[in-house]
Structure 1
Amino acid sequence: MADSSNEDFLQLIKRIGAFLTVKFSNLFRQLDSRSVGAIAGLAVAIVFTWRLLRTPSASQRRQPKRQAPTASSSSVSTHENINASSSGVSNPSEDSRTQNVIDEFFQPVKPTLDQIVRQRLSEGRKVTCRLLGVILEESTPEELQMQATVRSSVLEVLLEITKFCDLYLMVFFLDDESEKKVLMALEDAGVFTSGGLVKDKVLFCSTENGRTSFVRQLEPDWHIESNPEIITQLARFIRYQLHVSPVKLERPAANVFSATSFEQFFQ
């Protein structure tokens, strides 16, 4: 019985080894400091699977002894056991249980928002972003004279960016009242409470060209913009740009990415 158990265990290890050859390269690309514990979990999965495979054998040992078979039936049974053992055919139910345990353990690890933001921004450390039509519901300076509204769908990503990026927000405005409305809307949305963004990093300009000048002076790793003309003008000077618009640019530069909305780029 011990020899049979050892052989079962070796077969299990072989199956797991073959599976790991394919899976481990993908697994390590997903691992980070929060998921290193997955390695330790592999040992638990092996032990669990081994105990699962031993359960039927243990149950059989606890069953009462049956009447001894006749000589002819004993001979046939022994012959069948020898043939099955020599053929090396594994038990389908055991293979299924092993595969189920392995598949469950190697389920894809869903990345966190922090990981997604860092990956999408290529670890960039300085970001400039237009407010109108990207962070705000309003898309023109004339609308700002009436009200300023922060889009609720952008807040989670925006606050995540402020945790590790030097973020500057830029807005084209027409009067002082518009400036007050913008700052109040950002404050009410909690943008300034995270500590990563202060009011001094909300830049107001009276022309579209003024925003272009601000971006070039700051030299960010990323500029997020909805105006296609500014995207084109800055393509030579900024490392990466994100064009936020339902309409894609025709023949954008290689360093220009597109998204229908600010938050969609980080999904």
Structure 2
Amino acid sequence: MSDRVADHVTSLVRRLARHLNRKLSDVLTLLFNHKSAGSLGAVAGFAIAVVFVWRFLRSPPARQRRSPPKRRAPIQAADGGGFGAVQMLKESDAGGAIDSPPQLTVRQIVRKKLAGCRKMTCQLLGVILEEKSAEELQKHVTVRLSVVELLLEIAKHCDLYLMETILDDESEERVISALENAGLFQTGGLMKEKVLFCSTVSGRTSFVRQLEADWHIDSDIEIISQLSRFIRNQLYISPMEPGQIAPNVFTSSSLEQYFS
């Protein structure tokens, strides 16, 4: 619209210039024929008008132009486009950062998993120790280092008892010594008096029931099944997935895996 108006104004100015040119010719003719003061004044005024018109023609009105809109440079994804390009564009609009979910600490995980737990009992073999049988304890005892921090945190959260079936007193001494060397008795949460030993599997079941634990952790499916009616929650440690044993029995390949 502004371009059309400017063209129209220019056309009018040019027509006015041609008209003034004709008038100037008439005035000069009149001046030469009638040399008077009035004629001279008319010529001077006409000359001034011509100068203004000439300057106006030398500087035509500038046309307003709309600057083209700025385009955002396309964001290309590593795979060449598709959903990846759209995703990267969204990340760019959001400031180039995507909030990742916060990582929970060991303390937060333990509190969440054992909410309301007052007392926990836990088997040693296959859960806290690398050994899987009482016969192995007669030769060596190895504490799984990956569970040390977790056990210390559980001991802060609830009353923790460890228990195992052994074949001789020497095995008991080896177990206590290995737990102590691993630093499990240094914080005061877990004490030597809370590590219980028995000579039969049924004796471990009796320990759990007498302590009235809220949670029990074991790798023996028979003990888990026997205690499912009496213990609020249990964790069955097994490398295989046995399926649903009972509504209050959870399954995991390891203790740290369940609390990860």
Taking structure 1 as the reference length, the TM-score comes to 0.64
Q: What is the identity percentage for the equivalent residue pairs of Structure 1 and Structure 2?
A: 55
- After superposing on structure 2, the runs of 4+ consecutive aligned residues of structure 1 that deviate more than 4 Å are 90-98
3-state secondary structure, aligned to 2:247: coil
More helix by percentage:
1
Shift of 1:120: 1.9
Residue 251 of structure 2 is matched in structure 1 by: 258
Residue 157 of structure 2 is matched in structure 1 by: 164
Aligned residue-pair number: 187
CA offsets, 1:28-60, max 9 Å, x none? xxxxxxxxxxxxxxxxxxxxxxxxxxxxxxxxx
Residue 100 of structure 1 is matched in structure 2 by: 95
Larger-Rg structure = 2
Residue 212 of structure 1 is matched in structure 2 by: 205
Which letter does structure 2 place at the counterpart of 1:71? Answer: A
Question: Kindly tell me: are residues 99 and 231 of structure 1, through their superposed partners in 2, closer, same or farther at Cα, counting changes over 3 Å?
Answer: same
Question: Kindly tell me: are residues 96 and 264 of structure 1, through their superposed partners in 2, closer, same or farther at Cα, counting changes over 3 Å?
Answer: closer
CA offsets, 1:142-163, max 9 Å, x none? 1111111111121121111112
Residue 76 of structure 1 is matched in structure 2 by: 66
Shift of 1:95: 7.6
Write the mapping of 1:59-70 to structure 2, written as runs, cut at 5 A. Answer: none
Q: Distance in 1 between matches of 2:91 and 2:143?
A: 52
Q: Distance in 1 between matches of 2:161 and 2:122?
A: 6
Query: In 2, are the aligned partners of 1:173 and 1:204 still within 8 Å (CA)?
Result: yes
3-state secondary structure, aligned to 1:186: helix
CA offsets, 1:244-264, max 9 Å, x none? 011233431011111111111
Query: In 2, are the aligned partners of 1:228 and 1:249 still within 8 Å (CA)?
Result: no
Match of 1:126 among 119, 127, 142: 119
Taking structure 2 as the reference length, the TM-score comes to 0.65
Q: Distance in 1 between matches of 2:92 and 2:174?
A: 62
Q: Which runs of 5+ in 1 are unaligned?
A: 1-69, 85-89
Shift of 1:113: 1.1
3-state secondary structure, aligned to 1:249: coil
Question: Kindly tell me: are residues 95 and 253 of structure 1, through their superposed partners in 2, closer, same or farther at Cα, counting changes over 3 Å?
Answer: closer
3-state secondary structure, aligned to 1:149: coil
Question: Kindly tell me: are residues 205 and 91 of structure 1, through their superposed partners in 2, closer, same or farther at Cα, counting changes over 3 Å?
Answer: same
Q: Distance in 1 between matches of 2:105 and 2:177?
A: 30
CA offsets, 1:208-245, max 9 Å, x none? 00110110111112100000000000001101100001
Which letter does structure 2 place at the counterpart of 1:147? Answer: H
Query: In 2, are the aligned partners of 1:117 and 1:161 still within 8 Å (CA)?
Result: yes
Match of 2:169 among 145, 155, 176: 176
Q: Distance in 1 between matches of 2:92 and 2:134?
A: 63
Question: Kindly tell me: are residues 75 and 247 of structure 1, through their superposed partners in 2, closer, same or farther at Cα, counting changes over 3 Å?
Answer: closer
Give the RMSD, CA atoms, in angstroms: 2.6
Q: Distance in 2 between matches of 1:139 and 1:95?
A: 53
Q: Distance in 1 between matches of 2:131 and 2:169?
A: 17
Match of 2:187 among 173, 187, 194: 194
Q: Distance in 1 between matches of 2:223 and 2:91?
A: 58
